[in-house]
Structure 1
């Protein structure tokens, strides 16, 4: 079955309203963000940016 293209926004909205609820996707909510883990600068990280002032 081919549905004709809607000719107006109102027709498109009416077509969408006719979609059975069983075919519509359920709303899935995003989980709450996790707390950030504690982060420390180690010697390897510090070595990567040691000469950063030369590039700024």
Structure 2
């Protein structure tokens, strides 16, 4: 019986240095332009009494 093994190369960086080097190698044609952020459409999320009631007894379960 014959076994065939192959080496697999990981595409994930193993260190922050490798990640930075990978990012630095991205061609400028593929990099995002500095476009303005879209304006906020939805109102900001706020906590009301109904939200608080949903987690009122959370400590009992944790």
TM (normalized to structure 2)?
0.41
Larger Rg: 1
TM-score computed with the length of structure 1 as normaliser: 0.45
